[in-house]
């Protein structure tokens, strides 16, 4: 992938585009409602790592081809797997949940349509989410006799506790506006304006210091589960370290000199 021109890559389950300042990952099996097979999850993780290394990419966007974001896990083969085989297969999803918080660039879910089960988990895992007003959401696992596992981790961190449990237990379908009220998504846009809304968000990130964005994201995930005193101490350390960056000195100098900053990401 080049950092100076747009390039596209087709994987088996996804399509990856570099269109600075964004990198786009599209779940690309619309005829199957963009299932999240474990192979697809592994491809998403590989693509995110590649886009993280692209200097011209300032944010990564995940969306679905066609009219569906994702209808969730690919259930084909579930009946033929033993519990140990299923646990091994699920490792890819676990690794994706470990990866996203460690990336220095924001990951944005662009929810263009129906979003079910693992699709909801993917949306909640992303740092931010913008949904089409046509989007609908449901954690449908219990209707298949499956309990929420890793998906519950990000659901609990996105939605108030009792509402999170209700979504998990009832498999109730909610519209985009209710998803926004609950905190599952950040913003709802008219369907025809969804692309523009995402581009505006990415452009906003592109105007800011890559180093400051990376430190803010690290602090958000590093501090959320620490005891209060430990969180305060870790937060202080991250703040002090961020002040040693070239971007920090440039940002302060630009403010004092009343000019636009020139970020280097160092």
**Per-domain residue ranges for the chain?**
7-206, 210-256
Report the distance separating Cα 180 and Cα 188, nearest Å. 7
Given a contact cutoff of 8 angstroms between Cβ atoms, the answer to whether 48 and 99 are in contact is yes
pTM comes to 0.92
List Cα–Cα distances, 39 to 14, 18, 73, 128, 131, in angstroms: 10, 21, 11, 24, 25
- Of 43, 141, 180, 218, which is the active-site residue? 141
pLDDT of 5: 54
E strands present in the chain: 7-10, 14-19, 22-27, 59-64, 68-70, 107-111, 114-116, 128-132, 136-138, 174-175, 187-189
CA angle 136, 140, 146 (to 5 degrees): 165
pLDDT of 75: 75
CATH code matching the domain that covers 7-206, chosen among 3.40.50.2000, 3.40.50.10420, 3.90.226.10, 3.20.20.20:
3.90.226.10
List, in order, residues 6 or more apart from 125 with CB less than 8 Å away: 96, 97, 100, 107, 154
Residue pLDDT tens, the chain, 266 long: 444 456 788 889 999 999 999 999 999 999 999 999 889 999 999 999 999 999 999 999 999 999 999 999 877 767 777 777 777 778 999 999 999 999 999 999 999 999 999 999 999 999 999 999 999 999 999 998 888 899 999 999 999 999 999 999 999 999 999 999 999 999 999 999 999 999 999 999 999 999 999 999 999 999 998 999 999 999 999 888 998 899 999 899 989 999 999 999 88
For the question of residue 52 being annotated catalytic, the response is no
List Cα–Cα distances, 10 to 13, 40, 43, 207, in angstroms: 8, 12, 10, 29
């Amino acid at each position: 992938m080049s950092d100076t021109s747009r390039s596209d890559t087709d994987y088996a389950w996804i399509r990856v585009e570099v269109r600075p300042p964004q990198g786009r990952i599209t779940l690309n099996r619309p005829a199957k409602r963009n299932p999240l097979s474990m192979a697809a999850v592994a491809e998403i993780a590989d693509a995110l790592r590649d886009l993280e290394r692209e200097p011209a990419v300032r944010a990564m966007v995940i969306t679905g081809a066609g009219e569906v974001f994702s209808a969730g896990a690919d259930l084909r083969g579930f009946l033929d797997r033993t519990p140990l085989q299923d646990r091994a297969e699920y490792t890819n999803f676990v690794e994706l949940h470990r990866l996203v918080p460690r990336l220095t660039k924001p990951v944005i879910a662009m929810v263009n349509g129906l979003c079910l089960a693992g699709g909801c988990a993917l949306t909640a895992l992303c740092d931010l989410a913008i949904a089409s007003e046509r989007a609908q959401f449901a954690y449908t696992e219990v209707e298949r006799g499956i309990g929420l596992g890793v998906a519950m981790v990000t659901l609990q961190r996105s939605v108030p506790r009792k509402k999170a449990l209700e979504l998990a237990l009832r498999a109730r379908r909610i519209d985009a506006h209710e998803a926004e009220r609950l905190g599952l998504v950040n913003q709802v846009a008219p369907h025809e304006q969804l692309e523009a809304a995402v581009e505006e968000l990415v452009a906003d990130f592109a105007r800011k210091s890559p180093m400051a964005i990376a430190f803010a994201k690290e602090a958000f995930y590093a501090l959320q589960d620490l005891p209060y005193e430990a969180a305060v101490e870790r937060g202080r350390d991250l703040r002090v370290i961020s002040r040693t960056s070239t971007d920090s000195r440039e940002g302060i100098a630009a403010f004092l000199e009343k000019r636009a900053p020139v970020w280097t990401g160092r």
